[in-house]
Chains A and B, each alone.
Chain A
Amino acid sequence: MATTEEIRADLADIVNEVAGVDADDVQLDKSFVDDLDVDSLSMVEVVVAAEEKFGVTIPDDEVKNLKTVGDAVAFIERSQG
């Protein structure tokens, strides 16, 4: 089982690749839109890459609930659980 920190670090790499955000800035308390400037289209790319990386399914309806990096990490942890 991956730890919360491992999932955060992998997600940070994805956000870096998709949106060019410094991976060190992708911390659990950060908002994708307000802090990291990841817009909704980039968020779709992040979600698709995360689905492949973590082997989970993130439905379109769920994406709007993933406001912070912590929300996304928690969702991935629950889905993998």
Chain B
Amino acid sequence: MTTLTTSTGAQHAAILGVGAYRPVRLVPNSDVVDAIDSSDEWIQQRSGIKTRRWAGPEESVQMMSVEASRIAIERAGLEAGQIDCVVVATVSHLLQTPAVATAIAHELGTDHAAAFDISAACSGFCHGIALASDIVRAGSARHVLVVGVERLTDILDLTDRGTAFIFADGAGAAVVGPSDAPGIGPVVWGSDGEQFDLIRQREDWRDVVGSPEVPGSGVMPHLTMQGNPVFRWASFAMAKIGQEALDAAGVTLDELDVFVPHQANMRIIDAMARSMKLPSRVRIARDVADQGNSSAASVPLALDRMIAEGDARSGDTALLIAFGAGLSYAAQVVTVP
């Protein structure tokens, strides 16, 4: 039997740079309340959301991704030609194939980088960071660009009280590459398909189109969510996963500087922080108040903002955790670039 040569990667991987793109349009609660017979006060009390970013016609999944990625690559001190793998986490690129990652890799000017999309909904970015870390350490690529991007307004039912005020659009990106010290801890991830229906696309595309026997709905298959069970799972089960990610990285709560949970809802963020007994000096991402819940984009958007505002400093130890439809989840400790 012939012995195969295998690749050899970097001993350690780290996030080298982060970038973000937020849509120009800032939508206040007053613009969404009429369609869901609600109020600014109710929305803020239930979610902590005051405004959200909604993309305009020019702000496509690809456009937002490229803008965020250019910043991340520059901050990593790299050129696009040095990116040899592009992983895009999204559930709202409505052209199902080819992967939007290929168009992003091309527009950025990479040299034929490997490029593919992953579907893990709100937890997609943390899945992508886990893949990127492993890819770099295994030697399958040297610099991996991870993008979390959504245009959820395309699949939002503006009359649905459970989702219309929550979801938003945007893109965040991170470059993962080799480093002298470990900068990305072990991922703690998993899924619970028994709860497949809690957050989901309402119907199959074939039901939209219909058949000769059964006419289709002709309506975009919107997102639906059962809020209270999701709140319970996210606030408590996910707090345990966050603790497991800290344990896996050998980091104590006293050593943690920054907490960047998926920006689902301020109430979930607060409940998780209480449930994890985070010390008050740990700085917590609260981007959801202004940005809304932008699913796969939420963690990198929130991290980028904390870095920009000085709440996350280079060398800080940060816990990332993301969770959503599937149900699926992923968490890891990282060093802030």
Residues of A participating in the B interface, judged by any CB pair closer than 8 Å: 39-41, 44-45, 47-48, 60, 63
Q: How far is the CA of A71 from the CA of B267 in the complex (A)?
A: 25
Is B116 part of the contact surface with A, judged by Cβ < 8 Å?
A: no
Contacts of A45 in B (CB 8 A): 235, 271
CB of B45 within 8 A of chain A? yes
Cα–Cα distance between A47 and B229 once the two chains are bound (Å): 12
Interface residues of B in 236-257 (CB under 8 A from A): 236
Interface size on B, residues (CB 8 A): 11
Are B45 and A39 within 8 A (Cβ)? Answer: yes
B231 x A41 contact (CB < 8 A): yes
- Interface CB pairs A-B, < 8 A, 23: A39-B45, A39-B46, A40-B227, A40-B228, A41-B46, A41-B227, A41-B228, A41-B231, A41-B267, A44-B228, A44-B231, A44-B232, A44-B235, A45-B235, A45-B271, A47-B232, A48-B232, A48-B235, A48-B236, A60-B228, A60-B229, A60-B232, A63-B228
User: Interface residues, chain B, CB within 8 Å of chain A?
Assistant: 45-46, 227-229, 231-232, 235-236, 267, 271
Q: What 6 A-B pairs come out closest when comparing CB atoms?
A: A44-B232, A41-B267, A48-B236, A44-B231, A60-B229, A41-B231
- Residues of A with C-beta under 8 A to B232: 44, 47-48, 60
Complex-state Cα separation, A40 to B161, whole angstroms: 14
Rounded to whole Å, the gap between the CB of B158 and the closest CB of chain A is: 22
A60 partner residues in chain B, CB cutoff 8 A = 228-229, 232
